[in-house]
Structure 1
Amino acid sequence: MVITCFFHNMKLLVVVPVPLQSVEVQVDVKDHVATVVSTLLYQNKDEKPIEAVFVFPMPSEAAVCHFSAKVGQTLIVAEAREEYDDALSSGQQAFLLEESDQSPDIFSMSVGSLPPGESASIRLEYVTELDVQADEALRFCLPAVLNPRYQPTGTETGSVTVTSVPSSLVPYDLTFLARVQSARPISKVESNCTMDPLEFLSQDQTAALVKLAAGHKFDRDVELLIYYKDTHEPSAVVEAGQASAEAGTLMGDPAVMLSLYPEFPKDIMSSVSSSGEFVFLLDRSGSMEGGQIASARDTLLLLLKSLPMGCFFNIYSFGSTFEQIFPESVEYKQETMEEALKKVEMMQADLGGTEILAPLEHIYSQSCIPNQPRQLFVFTDGEVESTKEVINLVKSNSGSHRCFSFGIGEGASTALINGLAKEGGGHAQFITGSDRMQPKVIQSLRFAMQPAVVDISVRWDLPKGVSATVLSPPLTSIFQGQRSLLYAQLTGQVLSVLLQESVHLYTSLLFVCRLTVHRLAARSLIRSLEQEQGDRRGQIDNAKKKKKIIDLSVQSGVSSSFTAFIAVNKTSGEAIQGPLLRRDVPVPSKSQGLLKRKDDNDEEFDGSCVLCPEECGPRSREKQGPLLELVSLQTASGCWELEPLAKAVGKTSKVLENKCPSTVKVWATILALVWLHGLKADAKDEWELLVMKAVTWLQSQNASGLAECVEAANSLLGCSVQKNVLGI
């Protein structure tokens, strides 16, 4: 046996050969959902029988629906979970797949009693929904990085063990292929990994093939961004029931998935609320060090500059303990904004662990401010042990606030990030790889400040003879840019009626038959029941819910926190003799280095940022990109001062004063607006809200000579921005 030793983060690690040889993944994307089939090949190169344990992440909304093992020509059947340990003790081959008790996005797969020299092929299948991004792309992510979940001191251990090594030492390759199909044409498919050219499979471009370039090491999340045409049209996926299932059951009847992604009128989109209590909760645990905490500071700068005058705000940060900038939320004005920015500038990833429960409980203990709806923004890399407890806490307080969550970096817990937003009636975003945090966060701030569609009722305009039973939780709100999926069970002569009559409910229909919709509907029901079961409303009530979860899980073939997939080979010959060795299959470790990105001058950015330039001086300002430097100079009311603006736009104060056609503040503000529109149009998602605030301030001044100011600003900056584009 070859043993390799190396140093990583000052710890001596020992690497031994592991039995996982390769991972092959095939993905079928149907409109807004995906079916993922993974085949994992194991081979025991040890001299003794082994048990290989592979702990891996999975999308929190995924529904595991198939698990099988093939040894030689023998396909091993599934049996009860309790038989796994019994099978190992008797020397039989056994294979176990189960969900972590702490978080539904962590699974553990055990390949037990694999004899020396023997190979086993494991087939794992799951279905999942696809998230909508800020640019209207659908995001599919195959997680590779699993960060160890932080466990507070003194809590009962029970978490799974994660073995991680640098990506260069991950001993298995990944083969990846995706087929994309939709009722609407596919515009393009992008990825964070090297892909072969996109291959369209139909002339109308409604089907395409995507392949990962050969030789890819599974050392980072594989992300696909899928762009469809006509994205705002509602669509439905109708699926026939399982022939072998009993009629009247979820799996026996047809099911439908309705996708709603409305586009709001422009007058609604242009209006923002000037009220609200905005509470920002920032992860300052050690795992946020480097580029992540620096990006978070930049993001808080943009958020604070984008808030409307008259609202209320506060900033909390947490690790093993938590801190808050103000004892309670304060009114947003120049003085409070400046005080907050000075403290944000000093924030580092120096608070230890990731204990988010205490600050959340403190926030919820604060009385809500009348006529100021509370909006909670949570920023974390998601390395939290008590995921279900945190989500239940947000759910129990969902009537008093909305929660917007942001998963930072690869390996963030999808269960935590999606769960916070779902139970808090907000929106979830993930920032990975080279993504800039700011556009996604500002999009969520727009959601928080825009009027939401509430008091929603759904009327099913179905043909005669067809009825629908809704399986999804009721919709409480819909935002611009946010997709909602509804699942329903259909009864009656569904398929024959839908095919013969015109259907008014849908603008497009995509018929499928792989039980994807049924399994996602079952998963939605199971997750809702698990949340209710966790509310501890009495042992009898919880026992009934547990039985319902297990029955639904067994019926649909979808895993839950109370069930697991077991495969036991009882047809193999003699029992395997000798002691059983445990081998933990390693996953790529999270990069601990500084995450560098390019600033607006294409120079490397080392993580420093400037939030209060008057206080921090010119040395720090030079490390900040021009966009954030100009943004940092805006006052809380929305205007700019002329003298500090001069350097940001590359001019002297004297030159700007000599060209001033109006009052100084009006001239400075228009100059800043022309600079943003003319030179930073590609970053509009980041500065749009603070520009709206600036325009509101200009309108309140009733100043003359605005056209002359715009003309002079264009001349100075070499731009050609029209006055009407500025909205003044």
Structure 2
Amino acid sequence: MSMHPLVVATGSSKVELPCSQPVAPLETKGAAFCHPSMVRVSRPGKDSGYPPHFLRIDQRERKVRYGLLTQKDESVPLKSITVEVSISGFIADVSTTLCYENNKCNPVEAVFVFPMEDGSTIYDFHAEIGKKSIDVMIKDKQKAREDYDDAISSGQQAFLLEKTEIPDVFRLSVGSLSAGQKATLSLSYVTELPVEADDALRFCLPTVLCPRYTPQGTTSVTKGVPRVPFGSIPYTLSLTCHLVSPNGISNVKSNSALMPLEYLSDDKTEAKVSLSPGFQFDRDVVLLIYYNHPHQPTAIVENGLSSAASGSLMRDPVIMISLYPEFPELTEQSLSIKGEFIFLVDLSDSMLEKMNGDPDSDMRIESARDTLLLLLKSLPLDCHFNIYGFGSDFQHLFSNSVKYSQMTMKSAMKEVKSLHANFGGTNILAPLRDIFGKACIPGYPRQLFVFTDGEVENTQEVINEVKKNASSHRCFTFGIGDGASTALIKGMAKAGSGYFQFISRKDRIQPKVMKSLQFALPPAVTNIKLNWHLPNLVKVAPISETPHVLFNGQRTVLYGQLKTKANKNAVGRASLHYTLCGKEYKSEIRFGLKIDKHCRLTAHRLAAKVLINEKEDERFLSSMKDKSETIKKEIIKISTEAGIITSLTAFIAVHKEKHKAIQQPMVITHIPLASFPSCSQERISWESYYTSCIRLHPRLRGGGGGYGTPPTTLRGGGGGYGTPPTTLRGGGGGYGTPPTKLRGGGGGKPKDKVDEGDSADMPEVRSDNLLKLVSFQNVDGSWNLEDRLMTLLSKTEQEVLQKMPAEIKDKSVWATFLSLLWLHGFNSNRKDEWKFVALKAVAWIKAQTGLNLELCLQAGNDLLGCQMDLQTLGLQPS
């Protein structure tokens, strides 16, 4: 191995090539590798995890062209993508067909790097050239790559489908496609659909692949992907979805234009919907499917393959059950739960993007600010909290989590309202290590909330960091906008025994975040046990682990392998037992053991993926090399038996009829994706930063130095706008270097102290009146009777005081009662956002003695024009 220049002999001449990557000795593939413009250099070691690299040598310019770089006005061989989705219950079976045609005069190698929803299980891949079907095999990934290279260097046509180093990004290589030749490639996968906050099932077809943040010293998968402007993608997408549910299909919504929903049965248990023509590839395609009874438990018993090995997973029947644990809803008592809440917020440049395509819509950072404000006001009374911002670097509001109080909350709100997305890249690993490196507060369980648009390359390393610290916290994640890494968002939540949610174009982030806060507040469910009750002689081998965490009303899917067949009329039961607050609960389903003989092995493949995931976790935790190698072989064995690819295996197809070696230089074409100029790994220019600061934060206060160069402080003095910022709230010196604290700087106030009378200096919440009202609330749940509250209620001070019952001596009681009425009377459609705020207000009002609630209700209804009752407000006498 050497870092010296690479010397390549080409015919009678030698070319010296600068090479920044360590390489193994040059391999020319012997006589079969005949064209002088193509040589192969591979990194040493079959288990290095990197594919061999072809170097395209231009002898005139004497430079190496790595990978797939032809980017002029050449036509792209991928012409169309057709997607057929079949959704039965909560399982989606997806078939994707990609049509290629080489319009060039030379043979083509086309490489398509594309995202896929994490958790998807690819179980089928086949290729056709003309009407000739090409045999496909699953192999060890390294061996598959070598077979692919051998085939195309020998003039044969080959196809390789593999996972990249990023778990939710795949690479499809087509080589070599002869001039004028057509090819059709099809891949199929199955996936479980997650449940949204409003009980919809969410199907996502990712089309957006943003550049991923790549830590120094690692290789980027997405950096070399060519980009074209929106509307210029040279291939088309069509999508049709077939829906089946015995409980009835009530509606389908999407962030993209759909054709009208077509029911295929009178009882609305079967329907079809299609994507409208003209999709522009500027967003992930998201379908929200609504069933009439979404929480209905289900069970499927699926027959195996008679041709599979005896005793194997694919040979025996598999049972798949879904349960919906139920326990009491949130009450005021939930607000007494102790906890440490840490909010980790992405402040990278890509958070400046819009939440949707509307130019007037919120930017991602604006939605994140609003959500943080709502979270701060919704926290339980006895808790600690902290806020981290991260990008290329990270900062925290407090050096350690602080007690939740009026003073600390007010301090936090000031900083939240001033947050900007100006931290460059997306290095999430560093702040995670800082958080986990600090001791937990005894008696206050740690709850971590992560907000990001999820564009990182070291996904597995981040997930592993969460997994290593899973015993000390729960992790709740939110993927914001199109292109968010599903592997990162889902993986962190799973590793941290939490819950994940995605916020796409038409979603409001606040209801989803409040749903996760509701999951975080109750005490953890304990003593979780799964019991199978089956007829005599029928044995089941559990495939899924017993769940480590349960959330109210959220689906739990479990798999089991039936070792002996039962009578077709036999009935079995599965029950999930758990304890909450000392009380025992149970979720149960009864099912028939009659086997469906017309199945597509969906449950088997999903069960195999569960087994593989568990083996991969075991391999990660293993410190012994021999054991790790044994587990690796087990993973490859399950993968090949089940026909599903993993990080260790790949699909390979070789058309062996053509043996003539390449006679012309092969054109390397990388299939382009849509351009995302602000999804950059690099920090935006300081000129752009300065412009965005003026637009987002008009209260910048400088010092007398003029506006000649980028700013030096957001609030500071005397130096003008000299260089990049040093603090978000600083003083005295201007903006010297990237920020180091969310609140700090030589001239700022102490970070744990805030004046009670400086509310006028606090930036205003944007025009959302609900968020304004929430921002006025005190930590204890009360409101003060002040001018800004009365303005929001559209009442004068005289009107408010005239209607206040004489028995109320504390104006805060009246202000709190009116605020509670206003929330229920004028914002009932957004109750998911303010219910925690209302619970705190109810608890505070109930703690006041001597109140005539009926009298207060009548006076409040008269003043605001409402018709509420005490039961609706949660104030009914106990």
Query: Shorter-chain TM-score category?
Result: over 0.9
Q: Which residue of 1 aligns with 2:485?
A: 413
Higher mean Cα deviation, 714-723 or 303-312? Answer: 714-723
For 1:438, what is the secondary structure of its paired residue? helix
1:451 matches 2:523: yes
Q: In structure 2, do the counterparts of structure 1 residues 272 and 229 end up closer, same or farther at CA, with 3 Å as the change threshold? A: farther
| Contact 2:125–2:651 (CA under 8 A) maintained in structure 1 | yes
CA distance in 2, matches of 1:61, 1:34: 12
1:525 matches 2:620: no
For 1:447, what is the secondary structure of its paired residue? helix
Q: Which residue of 2 aligns with 1:597?
A: none
Find 1:244's aligned residue among 297, 307, 330: 307
Q: Which residue of 2 aligns with 1:61?
A: 119
Q: Which runs of 5+ in 1 are unaligned?
A: 1-12, 594-605
Higher mean Cα deviation, 241-250 or 319-328? Answer: 241-250
| Contact 1:172–1:218 (CA under 8 A) maintained in structure 2 | no
TM-score w.r.t. the length of structure 2 is: 0.77
Q: Which residue of 2 aligns with 1:701?
A: 848
1:189-588 aligned within 5 A: 189-266=252-329, 271-290=334-353, 291-494=363-566, 497=567, 499-505=568-574, 506-507=589-590, 511=596, 513-572=599-658, 574-588=660-674
| Contact 1:179–1:209 (CA under 8 A) maintained in structure 2 | yes
Q: Which residue of 1 aligns with 2:65?
A: none
Shift of 1:340: 0.8
After superposition, what is the alpha-carbon deviation per residue over 1:189-235, rounded to whole angstroms, capped at 9, x for unaligned?
22222222222223332222222223333332111111122222321
**What amino acid sits opposite 1:656 in the alignment?**
V
Shift of 1:178: 1.2
After superposition, what is the alpha-carbon deviation per residue over 1:132-155, rounded to whole angstroms, capped at 9, x for unaligned?
000111111011101111112344
CA distance in 1, matches of 2:72, 2:369: 37
Q: In structure 2, do the counterparts of structure 1 residues 269 and 130 end up closer, same or farther at CA, with 3 Å as the change threshold? A: farther
Shift of 1:703: 4.2
CA distance in 2, matches of 1:249, 1:68: 25
| Contact 1:469–1:490 (CA under 8 A) maintained in structure 2 | yes
CA distance in 2, matches of 1:269, 1:525: 41
**What amino acid sits opposite 2:638 in the alignment?**
L
**What amino acid sits opposite 2:104 in the alignment?**
D
Find 2:675's aligned residue among 586, 589, 597: 589
Instruction: Tell me which protein shows more helix as a share of its residues.
Output: 1
Aligned residue pairs total: 701
CA distance in 2, matches of 1:703, 1:434: 46
| Contact 2:337–2:522 (CA under 8 A) maintained in structure 1 | no
Find 1:90's aligned residue among 136, 154, 166: 154
For 2:668, what is the secondary structure of its paired residue? strand
Q: Which residue of 1 aligns with 2:62?
A: none
| Contact 2:335–2:840 (CA under 8 A) maintained in structure 1 | no
CA distance in 2, matches of 1:58, 1:650: 50
1:637-656 aligned within 5 A: 637-643=780-786, 644-656=788-800
| Contact 2:212–2:220 (CA under 8 A) maintained in structure 1 | no
**What amino acid sits opposite 1:501 in the alignment?**
A
Q: Which residue of 1 aligns with 2:819?
A: 672
RMSD over equivalenced CA pairs, Å: 2.4
**What amino acid sits opposite 1:67 in the alignment?**
F
CA distance in 2, matches of 1:608, 1:69: 55
Q: In structure 2, do the counterparts of structure 1 residues 218 and 211 end up closer, same or farther at CA, with 3 Å as the change threshold? A: same
Find 1:166's aligned residue among 229, 248, 254: 229
CA distance in 2, matches of 1:318, 1:434: 25
CA distance in 2, matches of 1:614, 1:350: 30
CA distance in 2, matches of 1:408, 1:157: 22
Q: Which has the larger radius of gyration?
A: 2
| Contact 1:262–1:481 (CA under 8 A) maintained in structure 2 | yes
For 2:422, what is the secondary structure of its paired residue? coil
| Contact 1:295–1:607 (CA under 8 A) maintained in structure 2 | no
1:688 matches 2:688: no
CA distance in 2, matches of 1:647, 1:515: 62
CA distance in 2, matches of 1:571, 1:386: 41
Higher mean Cα deviation, 692-701 or 262-271? Answer: 262-271
The percent identity for this pair of structures is 48
| Contact 1:609–1:620 (CA under 8 A) maintained in structure 2 | no
After superposition, what is the alpha-carbon deviation per residue over 1:293-339, rounded to whole angstroms, capped at 9, x for unaligned?
11000000000000011211111111111101011011101000001
Shift of 1:162: 2.3
Q: In structure 2, do the counterparts of structure 1 residues 171 and 642 end up closer, same or farther at CA, with 3 Å as the change threshold? A: same
**What amino acid sits opposite 1:528 in the alignment?**
E
Find 1:28's aligned residue among 69, 86, 90: 86
CA distance in 2, matches of 1:664, 1:609: 35
For 1:655, what is the secondary structure of its paired residue? helix
For 1:564, what is the secondary structure of its paired residue? strand
| Contact 1:283–1:354 (CA under 8 A) maintained in structure 2 | yes
Find 2:99's aligned residue among 25, 30, 41: 41
Q: In structure 2, do the counterparts of structure 1 residues 16 and 710 end up closer, same or farther at CA, with 3 Å as the change threshold? A: farther
1:629 matches 2:772: yes
**What amino acid sits opposite 1:530 in the alignment?**
E
CA distance in 1, matches of 2:556, 2:465: 23
1:78 matches 2:136: yes
After superposition, what is the alpha-carbon deviation per residue over 1:630-673, rounded to whole angstroms, capped at 9, x for unaligned?
11100111111111311121222332223222230010001111
For 2:858, what is the secondary structure of its paired residue? helix
